[in-house]
């Protein structure tokens, strides 16, 4: 429920603004268009992520960052082709109010702008910061096949970190990668039992693959990401196997004989050696934001519920019955309803428990943030909602877990979230502690949110993918090849890809 009491209708708001009395009413602090800040990758022509984005920070006349929303209509953004002769379809929603004095501006281009773009950011009728921003063309859209040939230049442009702790850790057991050995062993060891392995070869920036098994539908996510990346940067030649099932697969230890194989998965665990990529969920959310999906990692930033003081002081959980602790949590909440509101929304693994525990109605994910504390319990593996919970402004109580996603190593328990024991023995005490230490808890929630916002930015995701592929390619000791039964992943066959790529392409020798 939106707090309605003090909100003014737009005409009244306008009247007050004209009279210059807004400040006196105390409704919101006045914004200085000159001092406010605008920054981010969406102001650069050469960062071609599916949804381009930048940030606006409202700053007061005396130079302080606003920490509460100055109103969700405070900033207006227009984005147009620089050339009046060129029409480019661009989806430009309103800036997302992040309710902390900052805004996230997103836009999705459906064509490339040859001459460039002009981005105007206004507060009422005044330009904000250095608006108008001119992005000198060409500004390519997501589907334009126009890879940067020099990966170093590309990584600099995207401000990719020079190293990622998780990637270094993942590759430590694999100083070299023997493709011949993998070709012999992978199908026997991993494909026959699980049937969720997809074998890819990238040659000359073209993508080929074959499925090893029946449960490989999720290859649509790896296909999409590889294609998206190959449109932005020239990929190295490499050949790898991705496990598109839930569980990591390689359980041999680094010093076992025979040694482990460098399998690639979406989720890692402390007892497996799989090299991990961002999950299909994070990937899909990034590729399809403002298009196919609505609860994505960008839009969530504008839907974090009531302000801290107006959140219900309870821990909250809704989810399916994919792990026993989830049922245990519901039982705890029946005993301590003041502290914890937990419910199972769907039964599949423990159907016999439905009678006893009941079924909670589904609620929209954004409504989770009406509660101050969020309980994150594993599902079959890591709960893929964790990144979304971290993006909210509630405190996350995270179950200790052997499972992890690509960005977890950057988060510190106690600093960015509050850890709880795997068997949940300390959960109720931690909730009580949280209620008694509101200031500290709020700070942890904020720090966690800030780090998640940084780490999970779309351009960082592309950096992560590239780095994994680069490290992998460097370690290969044989030449990647297009293997028997592989087929090329076709580019989109509609006209969404039409564009004029001005980058000089290295000659592609057609090998087929
Ligand atoms: C909390 O909600 C009330 C009623 O909707 C509203 O008047 C008040 O401004 C809110 N408090 C904060 C800190 O946002
Ligand atoms: C204001 O916000 C910007 C953008 O988040 C940040 O870089 C800057 O450090 C903040 N300034 C102060 C004084 O906190
Ligand atoms: C702005 O706030 C109003 C009032 O709460 C809400 O109805 C509207 O949907 C919001 N607009 C945007 C773009 O978020």
Q: Atom of ligand 2 at shortest distance to CA of 64?
A: 13
Q: Please indicate whether residue 410, judged by its CB atom, sits closer than 6 Å to ligand 2.
A: no
Q: Atom of ligand 2 at shortest distance to CA of 59?
A: 1
Q: How many CA atoms lie within 13 A of 54 on its CB side?
A: 22
User: If 0-12 CB within 10 Å is exposed, 13-18 middle and 19+ buried, where does residue 166 land?
Assistant: buried
Q: Where in the chain is the domain with CATH 3.40.50.2000?
A: 304-455
Q: What are the average pLDDT values for consecutive 10-residue runs of the chain, which has 512 residues?
A: 34 37 54 97 97 98 96 96 93 96 97 96 97 96 95 97 97 97 95 87 97 90 96 98 94 94 96 96 92 87 95 96 95 97 95 93 94 96 94 97 97 98 97 98 98 97 98 98 96 79 64 41
Residue 402: what pLDDT?
97
Start-to-end Cα distance in the chain: 60
Residue 132: what pLDDT?
98
Q: How far is the CA of 299 from the centre of ligand 1 (A)?
A: 23
Q: Please indicate whether residue 82, judged by its CB atom, sits closer than 6 Å to ligand 2.
A: no
Q: Please indicate whether residue 72, judged by its CB atom, sits closer than 6 Å to ligand 3.
A: yes
C-alpha to C-alpha distance for 171 and 434, rounded to whole angstroms: 38
Residue 11: what pLDDT?
37
Q: How far is the CA of 121 from the centre of ligand 1 (A)?
A: 29
C-alpha to C-alpha distance for 453 and 465, rounded to whole angstroms: 18
The 8 Å CB, 24+ separation contacts for 432-437 are 432/339, 434/315, 434/372, 434/373, 434/395, 434/397, 435/313, 435/339
Among protein residues, the one with the nearest Cα to ligand 3's atom 7 is 2
User: If 0-12 CB within 10 Å is exposed, 13-18 middle and 19+ buried, where does residue 87 land?
Assistant: exposed
- Grouping H, G, I as helix, E, B as strand and the rest as coil, residue 375 is strand
Q: Which residues' Cβ are closer than 6 Å to ligand 1?
A: 3, 5-6, 307, 309-310
Q: Supply 13's token pair.
A: 């708001």
Instruction: Write the pLDDT tens digit of every residue in 154-176.
Output: 999 999 999 999 999 999 999 99
Q: Please indicate whether residue 76, judged by its CB atom, sits closer than 6 Å to ligand 3.
A: no
Q: How many CA atoms lie within 13 A of 472 on its CB side?
A: 28
Fold topology of 304-455: Rossmann fold (3.40.50)
Residue 78: what pLDDT?
98
The preferred substitution site among 310, 372, 442 for testing ligand 1, maximizing ligand atoms within 8 Å of CB, is: 310
Continuous H helices in 437-503? 438-455, 458-475
Q: Supply 407's token pair.
A: 């960005």
Q: Please indicate whether residue 512, judged by its CB atom, sits closer than 6 Å to ligand 3.
A: no
Q: Atom of ligand 3 at shortest distance to CA of 3?
A: 5
Q: Please indicate whether residue 60, judged by its CB atom, sits closer than 6 Å to ligand 2.
A: no
Instruction: Write the pLDDT tens digit of every residue in 48-78.
Output: 999 999 999 999 999 999 999 999 999 999 9
Give which of 108, 113, 133, 139 is closest to 45, Cα–Cα. Answer: 139
Q: Supply 221's token pair.
A: 């996510």
Among protein residues, the one with the nearest Cα to ligand 3's atom 12 is 72
Residue 497: what pLDDT?
77
440 C-beta neighbours (distance < 10 Å), count: 14
Q: Atom of ligand 3 at shortest distance to CA of 4?
A: 5
Q: Rounded to whole angstroms, what are the CA distances from 509 to 44, 148, 488?
A: 32, 18, 15
The preferred substitution site among 38, 62, 65 for testing ligand 2, maximizing ligand atoms within 8 Å of CB, is: 65
Q: How far is the CA of 413 from the centre of ligand 2 (A)?
A: 25
Q: How many residues does the chain have?
A: 512
Q: Atom of ligand 1 at shortest distance to CA of 68?
A: 14
> CB–CB of 249/265 below 8 Å?
yes
Q: How far is the CA of 310 from the centre of ligand 1 (A)?
A: 6
pTM score, two decimals?
Answer: 0.91
Could you please report the per-residue DSSP string of 188-229?
IIIIHHH--EEEEEEETTEEEEEEESS--TTHHHHHHHHHHH
Please state which architecture CATH assigns to domain 24-136.
Sandwich (2.60)
pLDDT, mean over the chain: 91
Q: How far is the CA of 454 from the centre of ligand 2 (A)?
A: 14
Q: How far is the CA of 196 from the centre of ligand 2 (A)?
A: 46
Q: How far is the CA of 72 from the centre of ligand 3 (A)?
A: 6
Q: Please indicate whether residue 4, judged by its CB atom, sits closer than 6 Å to ligand 3.
A: no
Residue 194: what pLDDT?
72
What are the DSSP E strand ranges found in 290-411?
Answer: 312-320, 340-346, 371-376, 395-399, 403-404
Q: Where in the chain is the domain with CATH 2.60.40.10?
A: 24-136
């Amino acid at each position: 429920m939106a707090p309605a009491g003090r909100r003014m209708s737009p005409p009244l708001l306008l009247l007050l603004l004209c009279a210059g009395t807004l400040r006196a009413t105390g409704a919101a602090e006045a914004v200085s268009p000159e001092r406010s800040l605008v920054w981010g990758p969406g102001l650069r022509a050469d960062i071609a992520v599916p949804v381009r984005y930048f940030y606006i920070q409202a700053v007061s006349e005396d130079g302080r960052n606003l920490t509460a929303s100055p109103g969700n209509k405070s900033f207006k953004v227009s984005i147009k082709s620089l050339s009046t002769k060129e029409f480019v379809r661009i989806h430009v929603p309103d800036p997302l109010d992040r309710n902390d004095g900052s805004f996230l501006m997103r836009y999705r281009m459906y064509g490339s702008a040859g001459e460039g773009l002009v981005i105007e950011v206004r507060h009422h009728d005044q330009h904000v910061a250095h608006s108008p921003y001119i992005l000198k063309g060409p500004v390519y859209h997501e589907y334009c096949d126009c890879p940067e040939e020099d990966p170093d230049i590309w990584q600099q442009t995207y401000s990719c970190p020079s190293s990622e702790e998780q990637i270094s850790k993942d590759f430590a057991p694999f100083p070299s990668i023997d493709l011949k050995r993998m070709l012999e062993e992978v199908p026997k060891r991993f494909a026959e039992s699980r049937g969720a392995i997809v074998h890819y070869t990238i040659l000359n920036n073209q993508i080929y693959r074959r499925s090893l098994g029946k449960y490989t539908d999720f290859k649509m996510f790896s296909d999409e990401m590889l294609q998206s990346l190959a449109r932005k940067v020239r990929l190295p030649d490499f050949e790898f196997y991705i496990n598109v099932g839930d569980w990591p697969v390689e359980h041999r230890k680094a010093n076992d004989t025979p040694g482990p194989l460098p399998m690639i998965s979406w989720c890692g665990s402390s007892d497996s050696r799989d090299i991990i990529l961002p999950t299909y969920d994070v990937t899909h959310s990034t590729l399809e934001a403002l298009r196919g999906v609505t609860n994505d990692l960008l839009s969530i930033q504008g839907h974090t519920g009531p302000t801290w003081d107006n959140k219900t002081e309870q821990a909250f959980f809704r989810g399916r019955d994919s792990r026993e602790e989830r049922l245990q949590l519901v039982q705890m909440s029946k005993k301590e309803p003041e502290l914890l509101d937990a419910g199972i929304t769907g039964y599949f693994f423990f159907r016999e428990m439905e009678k006893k525990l009941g079924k909670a109605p589904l609620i929209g994910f954004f409504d989770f943030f009406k509660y101050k504390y969020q309980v994150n319990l594993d599902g079959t593996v890591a709960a893929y909602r964790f990144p979304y919970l971290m993006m909210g402004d509630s405190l996350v109580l995270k179950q200790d877990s052997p499972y992890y996603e690509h960005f977890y190593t950057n988060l510190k328990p106690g600093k960015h979230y509050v850890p709880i024991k795997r068997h949940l023995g300390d959960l109720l005490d931690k909730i009580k502690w949280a209620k008694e230490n509101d200031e500290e808890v709020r700070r942890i929630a904020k720090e966690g949110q800030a780090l998640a916002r940084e780490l999970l930015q779309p351009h960082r995701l592309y950096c992560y993918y590239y780095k994994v592929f680069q490290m992998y390619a460097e370690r290969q000791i044989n030449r990647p090849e297009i293997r028997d039964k592989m087929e090329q992943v076709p580019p989109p066959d509609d006209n969404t890809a039409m564009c004029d790529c001005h980058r000089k392409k290295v000659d592609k020798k057609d090998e087929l």
